[in-house]
Amino acid sequence: MIDVSDLLESPLFLGTSAEELRDFLSVAPNNMRHYAAGDIIARRGEACRSVSLIASGVAEAFMVNPEGKELKMDELHATDILAPAFIYASVNTFPVTVMAKTPCEILVINRDAFLTFMQRSPEVLRNFLRIVSDRSLFLAKKVDEFALQSLRSRVLKYLQTSGRLENVQAAALRMGVQRPSLSRVLSELVAEGRVARQGNVYILRERS
C-alpha cells in the first residue's frame, strides 16, 4: 500500500482526506516506478495516457532538435505531474523528454480511474484544472521568452528573477542558445555597467 501522507501535500490532492485518497488508490490501477539519476522517464512523442506524479526526486524536461541542440524547458519536483495538459488531450503524446536529475519515484495512475475520481471529487477536479491552467500560463511565458524577446532581454530577465548567473553553460541550455552567444551578451552588459562580474558569477547591478 502506498503511503498517502506525502501525496496529500500535492496541489492535486489538496482538500482530499487520507481515507478518501487511500480508498481510491486501493481500487484504481496504479504503480510506483523507480528511476535512477540519468534515466529517461518519458521520451518526447511517447504515449501519455496515465496520470504520472513525481512522488520523490527531481526531473528535467527538455527538447532536442534534429541538429542535436538541447533546450531545457523546466525542472520538475515532488508533487509535480508530468504533462498534465496532454493526459486527456486529443493527441496523447509527451511534448518533451523527461529525465531523472536525481533518483525519482513516479506514481502512475490509470487515467480513466482518475477521471472517475475527479467526477466524484469536485475539489480534485478544480485542483487538476488549476494545474493545467497554470502550465498553460507557464508555456505562454516560454513562447514570449523564446519567440518575442531578444537574448539581451532574456538575460536581463533571468538575472532579475534568479539574482545571479553562476553557470554560463547551464544558463545557455535553459535559454536554448549557444554558450558563445550568451557569453558575448554578458560581456556587453558588463562593459555597459548593467551587470557586474565576480569571478565566474554575473550579478545584475542596481540602477540608480
Express each pLDDT in 138-151 by its tens digit: 777 776 666 656 88
In eight-state DSSP terms, residue 202 is E
List CB contacts of 71: < 8 A, sequence separation 6 or more.
62, 63, 64, 65, 173, 176
For 13-67, the pLDDT digits (tens) are: 999 999 999 999 999 999 999 999 999 999 999 999 999 999 999 999 998 866 6
Report yes or no on whether pTM surpasses 0.75.
no
Looking at the predicted structure, is the pLDDT value of residue 1 above 70? no
Specify the pLDDT at position 122.
95
**Are the C-beta atoms of residues 53 and 23 closer than 8 Å to each other?**
no
**What is the domain-level CATH number for residue 120?**
2.60.120.10
Residue that the C-alpha cell 513525481 belongs to: 54
Looking at the fold, whether 158 and 196 belong to one and the same domain comes out as yes
Specify the pLDDT at position 137.
84
Q: Which grid cell sits at 167?
A: 553557470
Question: What is the extent of the structural domain holding 107?
Answer: 7-146
Specify the pLDDT at position 76.
95
If one counts every other C-beta atom within 10 angstroms of the C-beta of residue 208, the result is: 3
Average pLDDT score, the chain: 89
Looking at the predicted structure, is the pLDDT value of residue 4 above 90? no
- Residue 147: half-sphere exposure toward Cβ, Cα within 13 Å: 6
Distance CA 162, CA 155 (A): 10
What average pLDDT does range 107-115 have in this prediction? 97
Q: Of 106, 57, 103, 102, whose CA–CA distance to 94 is shortest?
A: 106
Residue that the C-alpha cell 485518497 belongs to: 21
Question: Last residue of a domain, which of 110, 130, 146?
Answer: 146
**What is the domain-level CATH number for residue 190?**
1.10.10.10
Looking at the fold, whether 136 and 190 belong to one and the same domain comes out as no
State how many domains the chain has: 2
Looking at the fold, whether 154 and 142 belong to one and the same domain comes out as no
Q: Which residue would you say has higher pLDDT here, 178 or 106? A: 106
For 168-181, the pLDDT digits (tens) are: 988 887 777 888 88
- Span of 14-28, 108-122, 126-140 with lowest mean pLDDT: 126-140
Specify the pLDDT at position 207.
65
Looking at the fold, whether 19 and 71 belong to one and the same domain comes out as yes
Q: Which grid cell sits at 148?
A: 518575442
Residue that the C-alpha cell 524547458 belongs to: 73
Specify the pLDDT at position 138.
78
Q: Kindly indicate the confidence band of residue 190, based on its pLDDT and cuts at 50, 70 and 90.
A: very high
Q: Is residue 124 part of a domain?
A: yes
C-alpha distances out from residue 188 to 9, 68, 74, 199, 202, Å: 45, 28, 27, 16, 12
Alpha helices in 28-110 (DSSP H): none
Looking at the fold, whether 198 and 176 belong to one and the same domain comes out as yes
- Span of 99-103, 105-109, 138-142, 180-184 with lowest mean pLDDT: 138-142
Specify the pLDDT at position 148.
58
What average pLDDT does range 67-95 have in this prediction? 89
Question: Last residue of a domain, which of 146, 168, 184?
Answer: 146
